[in-house]
Every structure is written in structure tokens, then in C-alpha cells.
Amino acid sequence: MTTKKLRRTLMAVFTTVMFWVVCATPAFAARYVEIARTPVNVRADAGQSYAKVGETSKGKTYPYLASKKAANGKVWYRIQFTATKKGWVVSGYTKLIDVPDETTAPTTTTTTTATSSTDSATASTDVSTTTSTTASTTASTTAATTGSTTTTAATQKKVLITAKPVNVRADAGQSYAKVGEAVKGKTYLYLGSKKAANGKVWYQIQFTASKKGWICSAYGKLTGGTTTAAQTKPTQSGTPPRYIKRTITVSKKSVNVYSAPGTKNKKMGTVSRGAKFVATDWRNDGSDTTWYSFTRNGKTVWISRHNVTVSDSYTPIPEKNFKNGGTPMIYLSPSKQPHNAYAAGSTNEQTQMYRVAKELKSILEKEYVCTVYTAPTTLELDPDGRAYDAWKRGADVYLAIHSNADSKVNRNHYGPMAFYFPGSTQSKQLAQNVVAEMSKITPHKSTVSPNVINGMLAFDKTGYSDVREPSNYGMASILAEVEFHDKADSARWIINHPKNIARALANALEKTFGLQKK
């Protein structure tokens, strides 16, 4: 065989193999990078010579973005380091984790640009879509949050389609994914409306029994029924309000303060035992240690939580009730912990809690007057992450969904738990209702007491981030632990009952906030 023929044959074999590899790859599998040692530097590009942009900690996972071989032959992985920052880590200190597609909530739908159907305008995006979006979608939509949103309680008011055909979109704007076409002369149940940044109004309709969508109002006419008073929510932008005032007291004799979180940053002097300061911010230094900032001599400095005691005071979060109208925005924050393995089923906490969130979103949107958004796995739990995203979207309720595990010493517990924010009456009510509803369906009687707990007392009174951050921005927030997953029987129960768990959570939300049924 000639060299040319051999090359041609090998290329054909390679092409065939690559075809089957591509076809065999799950379309929506998620890949994560787990850090195998600590600390691991995160670099601006693939190589030790590039600028350091941060540090990772052992056991933490990050969304995998790409890989690259450096000049010395070493492979580097690109990761989503924070909600807004990407970076590179050398592969020798990590391992790749592939997670089934149900953890990648939500997945991207490609935008349709067909010209045969009628729609127009691009709307603001501060309210949840009726289909899923990825982190990249989130990034693009939050960058364009202008204009205002008007949502109206569902009534028997309908939308008559006056053009043929009319594209039905996943949200109010031509750039959003096409979910179908509305037929001229057909009527659809009217669910609400939204004004875009360019002033055009879009109508949300019940497109099918299980699917909602949006059409431009220019091609639909409202008919019949009467609407209740509309609730207008301006687009959230800028700096959120603060409902937590955190005072820190230095607990050691003489403590260094730094220019940024972490002892590797520039020293900015010392503070003495007993000195009190009001914290202006709090951040993680990359090694699971919280640091507080405060103003000293006109400069912002940072101190580790291990060197202070914390005391909080709260501005009460206003209560919200939707019995008499209005459309609540419910933000779901499932666990982003793929490393928390279940005792059965070869699965993990993140996978199963995104399954529950998917079922809960479906129930809420199908049966209740509300809008729902599920946080993507790429969004962190820090003040700039999920909490800020929820606030920008105008969320009224923030529900973190987790499953639980005992310490390694004691593995005897069963039953649900919920952590609430003490500055919100409805937060505690929701926690109580979640535990009560979950206790009706769990296979074992709860062995946990108390099972409704002040979430701000955790971690030396620094609080659970899924309670602390959204509450600080004024949302009624809880962290729900639906059951313990470190025992095989309870793990199997969670895996086999995502719909039942979702139904219990929906019941708790209805009882707490007076959600209207459609």
C-alpha cells in the first residue's frame, strides 16, 4: 500500500471513530473539575508563568470549560472559577467528574431565527423564562436588564391570535428560543404581560397543557374576563438593599488585617482584642474561610472569621401574600454539590436535587399563578452569585433544596430539616411548613430535634449562605434538607420520589404565601 493510500485509509478510520465517539456522547452531560489537593493556583491562562487569579481548595468542584496543553506538555483545565471569573488549573492536581444531564439545570435551547413567522422586538429579561437557560444565557440576559415587567394574576382573560403564524417564544423577545407557533383565530389563556426595553408589550399565554410561552402583543388581542390589579416590578439593578447589620468583635490579642481576603495579600496593620467594627462585606478566600471587610483609617481592610466573634441585627423583611392577586417570583437554588455521594444508586446530592427542582418548577408553573427560575450549577452561593441573581430577577421567595448527611461519627438520623432566617416571619413559616409537609411522606419518622433551625447560627454564627445572602437582599429564604442521603434506604427513597418531594414543597409554598391556583 502506498503512503498516500495508507494516509487516506487511516483518515477514513479516524473519521469513522470520531463520528461514533461524537454520536455516543450524551448531549447534555455536565463535566466538573474536582480539586484533589490544596491550595491549587488558578491562572489567567494555561501555564505557571501566567498571572494568578485566585486559589482553589481541596474537594471543591468547578464547571469544566475546556482543556489546553502547555508548552511543557502538561494539560491544563479551564474552569468557571466564580460567577464572573474563569481561570486555568493544572490537571495533575485535579480529576474530571462527569455528571448526568439532570444536574445541568437548566439546559440551553438554541434560538430560532426563522423568518416565516411573525414576531418583533427584544424585551428586558428580569423575570424568569418559562423554559430553561444556561449560565451563558444568564450572563447575556442579565446584561440587558432594562425596562420594566408587569405581571397580572391569571384570570379567564384570553389572547386571540390575529396574525398567521405567530412565533411563541420562551420569554418576551425575538432573541429567545421558539417553543412553537400560535394559530390565527385560536385563543389561549392569558397569564400576564411584560413591557420590553423598547416599549413593546408581550403577552404570556398557556400555549399547551404543560407549556407556557410569550407572543408580541401586536399579533394578539385580549378578550373576555377581567383582570385583578396588576403588580409592577421595576427592573432590579445597582446595589441591593441590606437587611443584615453584622458587627464583628476582635477576639484575639493582636490580629493582622489584609488588603483582600486571605493571608497572602498585603498586610494593612493590626487590630486589638475587643475592637468592634461593622462589616461592610464578607467573602470566601478560596479555602472555605469567610473574611469580613470593614473601614479603618479610611481604607477597606479584611479580617478572618477565625479572629472575630459575630453578632447580627436584622431589619424585618416585609411579608408578602398573593391570595388577592399578584404573581410571585420563586427562585429555586438546588444543591451544587456533585461530590456529596449517595449511599445507594451511584448518584449524588446535586443530581437528585436538580431532579426535585425540575419537578417542582413543573408543578408550580402548571398549577399556580407564579414565575419560577432554577439557578444553574455555574452560579456560586456568594453575594455576587445566586442571591444577587435572584434579587435582580425580582424574586419574592428563595428556596434552597438539599439532602442531608450525618457526621461520620453518627449516622442514625432520618427526616427533613429546614433552616430559616430570623429576620423574616415568613421564612420561619415556610421552614415549618416544609418540614410538616415532608414529614407526611418520608418513610421513617424523624429522629431530628429540633428540625426547624435558625440558619444564621451555623458556622460560628456566620450562617448558611443559602439563607444569609438572599435574606440580606430582602427575600423570604430557607434551606430545606428533604431527607438524609447517607443511608441506603433513605437514599433510594429520595431517588425514587422526586415528584412526591416536589409536591410537598409546592404545598408548603402555597400555605405560606397564599399562591393562587390557576
Q: Please tell me the distance from the alpha carbon of residue 262 to that of residue 292, in angstroms, as a whole number.
A: 11
pLDDT tens across 138-148, in order?
333 333 333 33
pLDDT tens across 283-312, in order?
877 677 889 999 988 899 999 999 999 999
Q: Is 501 left (phi over 0), alpha (psi -120 to 50) or beta?
A: alpha
Range among 11-20, 308-317, 405-414 rated most confident: 308-317
pLDDT band at 204 (very low <50, low <70, confident <90, very high): confident
Domain positions in the chain: 26-99, 135-234, 244-314, 329-513
Q: Output the pLDDT for position 332.
A: 97
In degrees and rounded to multiples of 5, residue 232 shows phi and psi of -100, 130
**What is the residue whose three cell numbers read 397543557?**
209
Q: Output the pLDDT for position 23.
A: 38
- Residues contacting residue 149 through CB under 8 Å, at least 6 positions apart: 124, 126, 127, 194, 195, 232, 233, 234, 235, 394
| Mean per-residue pLDDT, 388-406 | 93
pLDDT band at 333 (very low <50, low <70, confident <90, very high): very high
pLDDT: which is higher, 141 or 29: 29
pLDDT at 21 over 60: no
pLDDT band at 208 (very low <50, low <70, confident <90, very high): confident
Helix axes 498-513, 349-367, angle to 10 degrees: 50
pLDDT: which is higher, 510 or 58: 510
Longest distance between any two alpha carbons in the chain, whole Å: 85
Q: Output the pLDDT for position 83.
A: 66
pLDDT at 210 over 50: yes
pLDDT: which is higher, 477 or 388: 477
CB contact at 8 A, 383 and 469: yes
Q: Please tell me the distance from the alpha carbon of residue 340 to that of residue 36, in angstroms, as a whole number.
A: 15
CB contact at 8 A, 157 and 226: yes
pLDDT tens across 65-118, in order?
888 888 888 888 888 887 678 888 898 888 777 554 333 333 333 333 333 444
Range among 144-158, 219-233, 389-403 rated most confident: 389-403
- Residues contacting residue 376 through CB under 8 Å, at least 6 positions apart: 104, 105, 106, 133, 134, 135, 138
Q: Output the pLDDT for position 239.
A: 80
**281: nearest Cα among 250, 240, 252, 237:** 240
In degrees and rounded to multiples of 5, residue 510 shows phi and psi of -60, -45
317 burial level (CB within 10 Å; 0-12, 13-18, 19+): buried
Range with lowest mean pLDDT among 131-140, 151-160, 406-415, 446-455 = 131-140
pLDDT at 360 over 50: yes
Identify the CATH class of 135-234: mainly beta
Q: Output the pLDDT for position 9.
A: 54
pLDDT tens across 30-72, in order?
577 888 777 788 888 888 888 888 888 777 778 888 888 888 8
pLDDT at 462 over 80: yes
pLDDT band at 238 (very low <50, low <70, confident <90, very high): confident
Fold of domain 244-314: SH3 type barrels. (2.30.30)
Q: Output the pLDDT for position 58.
A: 76
Cα 342 versus chain centre, distance: 21
pLDDT band at 323 (very low <50, low <70, confident <90, very high): confident
Q: Please tell me the distance from the alpha carbon of residue 484 to that of residue 445, in angstroms, as a whole number.
A: 12
CB contact at 8 A, 179 and 196: no
pLDDT band at 151 (very low <50, low <70, confident <90, very high): very low
Range with lowest mean pLDDT among 154-168, 227-241, 314-328 = 227-241
Give me the chain's average pLDDT, please. 79
**What is the residue whose three cell numbers read 431565527?**
113
CATH number of 26-99: 2.30.30.40
Q: Which grid cell sits at 120?
A: 418583533
Range with lowest mean pLDDT among 51-65, 315-329, 446-460 = 51-65
Q: Output the pLDDT for position 93.
A: 81
pLDDT at 489 over 80: yes
Range with lowest mean pLDDT among 40-44, 418-422, 489-493 = 40-44
pLDDT at 232 over 80: no
pLDDT band at 450 (very low <50, low <70, confident <90, very high): very high
pLDDT at 243 over 70: yes
Range among 4-18, 24-38, 464-478 rated most confident: 464-478
pLDDT at 15 over 60: no
142 burial level (CB within 10 Å; 0-12, 13-18, 19+): middle
pLDDT at 494 over 80: yes
Q: Please tell me the distance from the alpha carbon of residue 370 to that of residue 329, in angstroms, as a whole number.
A: 6
CB contact at 8 A, 415 and 449: no
Q: Output the CA torsion sign for 188, 193, 196, 200.
A: positive
pLDDT at 162 over 80: yes
Fold of domain 329-513: Aminopeptidase (3.40.630)
